[in-house]
Structure formats: C-alpha cells, structure tokens
Chain A
Amino acid sequence: MAVEPITEEMAGVCVDAHGSAIGMPQLCGEWIPNQIFWLIITLVVIFFVLSRIALPRIASVLAERQGTITNDISAAEELKRQAKDAEAAYEKALADARTEAQAIAQKTRDEIKAKLDAATVEADAKIAEKSAESEKVLAGIRASAVESVEAVAKETAEAIVAALGTSADQAAIDAAVANRMKG
C-alpha cells in the first residue's frame, strides 16, 4: 500500500519481493493464527464489557424510564380524576345555589304577595267604609234637598195661589204638592 523500501526481508510466504500481497491475504496461512488470537481476546473483552457494565446499565435505564413513564401516566390519571371530582363538586354547588336562590326568590315573592293581599283587603275595607259613609252623607243631602224642594214648592204654590187672588187652605196645597212630587 504505502511505498516501502523494497527489501528482500519483506518477501515471505504471503508477501512478494515488492512488498505486495501474493494472492489473497485472507488465504495466507501464516497470518491466520495471529488474527484468531487477537480476535478471541477482543471478543472476550467486548463480552465482559457488555455483559458486566453496558447491558445491565442500559437495561436499568430503560426499566427506570418505563417506570417513570408509568408513574407519570398514573399520576396524570389521578390528577385528571381529581379535576373531574372538583368539577362535579363545583357543578353540584352551583346547582344547590341555584335551587336555594329560587327558593329564596319564591319565598320573598310569597311574602310580598301575602303582604299585598292583606293591604288590598284592608284598602278594600277602607274603601267600602268610606263609600258607605259617603253614601250616607249623600242620602242625607238628597233627603234634605227633597225636603227643601218640597218646602220651596209649597211656598211657591202658596205664593202663586195668593197671587191669583184666591186663598186656599194650607192642607190642600200641601196635599197637591206632595201628590205632584210623587208623580
């Protein structure tokens, strides 16, 4: 390969006088024991390095990672469950509050309605009383008015009769006026 001084010593079973391989180096018997010896040493070393250090370590790392992932997943599931619980509790509280609010509103409404009804009844009673009183007064007024009308009518009738130059007795005039006012 590399340019090396051509010496007779280099020539051997596997190497020609120019320092090149004769045929296939793979088939040169002189080089085989050396390779087998070093190969076996290499394999033993690799085997011990792998089986004593590398492989158990990688196995433990992989197992640890698997464990961590499993733990994380279960923790996440636990948290998710908790969140669901919290949500359910919140929903329940909300529903309770709504029901309570409705109950309070209903109660207030009922109270107001009861008060209103009582006030209405009272007011009605007052109004009825007032109107009855007014009626009475009105009836009084009306009665006195009729009386006044009757008196005026009698006086007027007397005056008219007197003006006509005749006299009539009081009783006849009264009867006539009363008779007319009925009609």
Chain B
Amino acid sequence: MATEAAHGADMAEHAVEGGLSFHPMDQFMIKPLFGAGDVGMFTITNVTLWMFICILAIIGVMVLGTSRRAIIPSRSQSVAELAYGFIYKMVEDVTGKDGLKYFPYIMTLFMFIVFSNFLGLIPMSFTTTSHIAVTWVLALCVFLGVTILGFVKNGVHFLGLFWVTSAPLALRPILAVIEIISYFVRPVSHSIRLAGNVMAGHAVMKVFAGFAALAVVSPVSIVAITAIYGLEVLVAFIQAYVFTILTCVYLKDALHPAH
C-alpha cells in the first residue's frame, strides 16, 4: 500500500512536466485553518475542523435524532437505534454478557470511525481516518486497554493466552513465540488496515481525477471514479465494522484468555 502510494507520488512529480498534474497525496495534507505557518500540536487545522464536524454529526444523529424518545421512531431515531443495536449485539455476541460494560468505549470507536470515513467521502473534505497517526492512536488505545484489562481481570492467568494447552507440550514454546509475536503485531495490523484502505481508495480516486484532464480518457476516468466511489462507500462501512469487531475479539481474549 505504502509503496504504491509513494509510487503514485513519484509519478505525480513526473507528470507535472507533462501537463497533467497528479497530486494524489495532497488531499491528506494537514493545513492550518487560520493563516499559514507551522503545524504545532495545538494549531487549529483541517484535522480539527473535520473531527469537530464528526462530533457534530454524531451529536446530530445520536442525541438530536433521539430527542423525542418516540416509541415509534422517526427516521433519524431509527438510524441511531440501528447503530446502537448493531454494536450492542456485536459486543454481546463476541465478548459475552460481561463485555457489555465496555460497550460505550467500543461504540465511541465505531461511531468515530464510521462517521469520519463517511465524512471523508464528501468531495473536498479531509479524511481523518486516512492518517496512520489517528488509527495508530485508536489501535494503541485498544491494545493497551485490552492488555491492562487482561492482567487486571485474570492476573498471571492472562499469560495463558500465549501458552496453548491444547497443543503437544513440545510445540508449546514455539507456539508461544508465535502467539506473542502475533499479539504485538495486532495494533500494527489493526491501525494500518483502516488507514491503508481509506487512504488507498482516496488516492486512487485522485489519480483517476487527474486523468480526467485529458479529454480522450476523461469519460473512462469519470466512470472509474464513480465505480471507485461506490467501492469506497462500502469500504468506509466495512473498515469501521472490521475495526470494531476486531476490538471485540481482542476484548474477548482479555476477558476469557483460555482458548
């Protein structure tokens, strides 16, 4: 994914001289909203703007949409209830009843990711979840939270997660090494999967958009953009779903470390 994108960027530089201008990665740039200058830690940037819009959207659906508390729900209340039921059932099915007290945390993750992904699909918008810095923090929160929770709940028994008792004794040390590696790779795959998918889709759309400047290929390019956009709508939801269900699976490992 990363090499592809880098390749795209290289191609962009070559293309500038040829008349076509490819800047597929420029959409991911962080810019200060007010004035120019360096982006410090507390600078108000397009990241701030789109995260703020994300908060507003979530409040709009989950708080304002449900404000009438209707027994027969309105459309927005149905959406909120659907999202609630979807994640609630997922947490219950994957982690069991005792995982339900972590439901608000998982709901927070899901709502943030799904809204960011969809807001990112608005043309000219900025996609916060396309940045590894963002997804890495999300994945790290899950990883640290789950690991600490595992040790708090199960003590040393949590290490049983790495000691596969159903395997022959001779194999267990080898399996333990593999299990430990896979455990520590979790946050990496967890974060790069989301950011990579979102970023790749957006970059591909930008590349196709660049080709639209050539009159000969512009119809093909526009059809391709439409198709990719449809795919991205799917990806936006599926990646949020995948991130959330993996969080649930990791949580289940922490609550019930025995295989």
Contacts and interface: CB of A to CB of B under 8 A. Distances in A.
Contacts of B69: 57, 60-61, 64
B5 A50 contact: no
Interface string B44-69: 01011001101100110011001001
Contacts of A37: 41-42
Contacts of A90: none
A1 B105 contact: no
Interface of A: 1, 9-10, 12, 14-15, 18, 20-21, 23-27, 30-43, 45-47, 49-51, 53-55, 57-62, 64-65, 68
Interface string B64-101: 00100111010001001100110000000000000000
Contacts of A62: 81, 84-85
Interface of B: 2, 5-6, 9, 12, 16, 23, 25-30, 36-43, 45, 47-48, 51-52, 54-55, 58-59, 62-63, 66, 69-71, 73, 77, 80-81, 84-85, 103-105, 107-108, 111-112, 128, 130-134, 137-138, 141, 195, 199
Contacts, number: 155
Given A1-B27, A24-B6, A34-B39, A39 B134 contact: yes
B54 A42 contact: yes
Contact of A35 (B30, B66, B71, B104): B30
A20 B23 contact: yes
A40 B140 CA distance: 12
B104 A47 contact: yes
19 contacts: A1-B27, A21-B28, A26-B195, A30-B38, A31-B29, A31-B131, A34-B39, A34-B40, A36-B137, A41-B51, A42-B51, A43-B112, A46-B55, A49-B63, A50-B62, A54-B63, A55-B84, A55-B107, A62-B85
Contact of A21 (B23, B40, B42, B59): B23
A40 B108 CA distance: 12
Given A24-B5, A39-B138, 5 more contacts: A1-B29, A27-B132, A33-B40, A36-B133, A58-B62
B169 to A, nearest CB: 44
Interface of chain A, main secondary structure: helix
B71 A64 contact: yes
A87 B199 CA distance: 70
B112 to A, nearest CB: 6
Among A10, A30, A31, A49, the most chain B Cβ lie within 10 Å of the Cβ of A31
A25 B25 contact: yes
Given A35-B47, A38-B51, A62-B84, A26 B199 contact: yes
B30 A61 contact: no
Contacts of A38: 45, 47-48, 51
A46 B137 CA distance: 15
A55 B73 CA distance: 15
A24 B3 CA distance: 10
Given A25-B30, A31-B39, A49-B63, A54 B80 contact: yes
Given A25-B29, A46-B108, A58-B66, A10 B195 contact: no
B81 to A, nearest CB: 6
B29 A49 contact: no
A9 B36 contact: yes
A31 B30 contact: yes
Contacts of B29: 1, 14-15, 21, 25, 31
